[in-house]
Structures are given as C-alpha cells and as structure tokens.
Structure 1
Amino acid sequence: MTENYVATSSITIAAPQERVWAVLTDPGSIKEFMFGTDVETDWSVGSPITWRGVWEGKPYADTGVILEVEPGRRLVNTHFSPLSGQEDVPENRHTLTWTLDDEGDTTLLTLSQDNNPSVEAAQHSKGMWDSLVTNVKLIAER
C-alpha cells in the first residue's frame, strides 16, 4: 500500500485576497515565483496546465489538470513532473491545493501537495513550497 503524506506550506501576506489571486494566476508572476517556469492554461475546470522550464540544464514540461477554481479563494490542480523519474500514471501525480483565507488586512496563503510517498519526501516538498509561497508574498506585497 502506498502512503499519502501531505506537504503543507502557509504564509501570511499583507495584501488582499484579490491581489494574491492575481499573483497566483498571472503568467509573469508565476515565472517569477515558480522557478522560472512558463505556464500555459486558461484556468478553467477540466483544462490542462503545463509548466515549462529548465532545471539544472534540462528542459522539462510539468503537466496537470485544473480541478477547481474559486477566484480569489481556492485553486486545485493536479501536477506531474517528469523530473521525478517516475512514470506519468495517476498514482504518481500530486494534487496541489492553493487556499486563500481573508484575515482582515492580510491573506493567509496555504499550499498543500498530497501523494508524497514518505515523510522525507513530504519534508522535501515542503521546503520547496516554503520557498515558493515566500516568493508569492514578496511579489504580492510590492
């Protein structure tokens, strides 16, 4: 049986939900906070999403599908990276859930990634996502 460890990163951002949402869905901002990737999607439920970039000199195209969109509040998509070295089958895909909670003058951004096979894998993912949400904060607060 495969385990399902969840990696979760949260950060409080001194910006309204609408601003944080705009950062999360703007291709220019995504390129800035998501390791230089170019994103392709129309943000509609059921639509594909592709992130293209170069990691350690190797071009890649991560793929997924948009599962939920609640503008300003919640975005859920699947994610698969060929850089994982795994086969692109459902059991090797993650679900990324982005949640924006209004906290008055700030927004709590939470990003969770499911389907990590071990505690160590979840901790590795959390470290990567901690860096990413910090970058979202920096962009949103400019």
Structure 2
Amino acid sequence: MTGHVARAEVIVKAPRSAVWRALTDPEQVRSWMLGTTLTTDWQVGSPITWQGEMDGKPYEDKGEVLEVEEQSRLRVTHYSPLLGKEDRPENYHTVTWTLTPTRDGRTTVALEQDGNDSQEQADQFSQNWQQMLESLKQTAEA
C-alpha cells in the first residue's frame, strides 16, 4: 500500500457467494455503482474498465485485474481521468476488496484504496466507498 489509504467496511446479511456475485457481475455492479458499466473477464493481468456518467459528464475509468481469489479477495488498479491527473502508473490507486464470512452466515466486506495524496483525500474516498458499500449490501441482500 502506498500513500494515504482509504478504508470502508460493511457487514452484509448474505453468504460470500451472493456478495461475490454483487461485486463481480456487471449487471449487479450497475445497480450499486451508480449505473456504471463494468467490463473485464476477471483474469489476472486483464484490463478492467468502468464507464458511466457523473454529474452529466461521461467518464471511463480503467485499470488492471491484479488478484482474484474466488469469493474471498479481489484486487485491481484504478485510474480516473476525472481526478485531473495524467495517465501514469503513479496516478493509479490499488483497490482491494476482502470478503470474510461471519459465524452467523453474514459476510464482512472490507475495502482499501491506496495511493491517495493526502489524509483528506483518503477520508473523502473512504466516505464515497462507504456509501457504495452500503449500496452493494442492499444489492447482495436483495
């Protein structure tokens, strides 16, 4: 992990398999990630893109799949031109989702995003991710 790290976490009343589907199935991702179109084959080393519209402006974020541990851990790089930085490796974040089963059949979803320039930026991303994880929870529990 580099730079300041954003973190978010939620407990989902659903098994890991349902949470994994919500996290990796493009149709389900669209429902919790503000209408984003996710494109990837989930193979390590493959490209991943997120396309959509934010505040009326179209965007296309991109990255690479770094790690896929079925129903357990997902790690990707992420670059967004909306942040106003050049498309260079040092301007990519690494986003890691970790799914942990609880004893009562629920799933804890923890997210970390590194590469933030300041603690303030990390805090802002933490808030954004927390809102998205709450939406992910609703999707997985449905």
Smaller-chain TM-score bracket: over 0.9
Give the total of aligned pairs: 140
**TM-score normalized by the length of structure 1:** 0.96
Alignment map for 1:70-81 (pairs within 5 Å): 70-81=69-80
Q: Deviations over 1:87-116 (max 9, x none)?
A: 011111000000000112110001110010
Deviation at 1:79, TM superposition (A): 0.1
Q: CA RMSD for the aligned pairs? A: 0.9
2:14 counterpart of 1:15: yes
- Pairwise CA distance, 1:117: 0.6
Q: CA deviation digits over 1:23-73, x for unaligned, max 9?
A: 101111111111211011000000000000011111110000000000100
Whole-angstrom CA distance in 2 between matches of 1:35 and 1:76: 20
Amino acid at match of 1:137: K
Specify the alignment match of 2:120 in structure 1: 120
Distance in 1 (alpha carbons) for counterparts of 2:69 and 2:52? 27
Name the SS of the counterpart of 1:6 in structure 2: strand
Question: For residues 89-128 of structure 1, what are the structure 2 equivalents within 5 Å?
Answer: 89-104=88-103, 105-128=105-128
Q: Unpaired segments of 5 or more residues in structure 2? A: none
Which ranges in structure 1 are unaligned for 5 or more consecutive residues?
Answer: none
Q: Distance in 1 between matches of 2:65 and 2:124?
A: 24
Percent identity, aligned pairs only, is 46
The residue identity in structure 1 corresponding to 2:99 is L
Moved over 4 A (4+): none
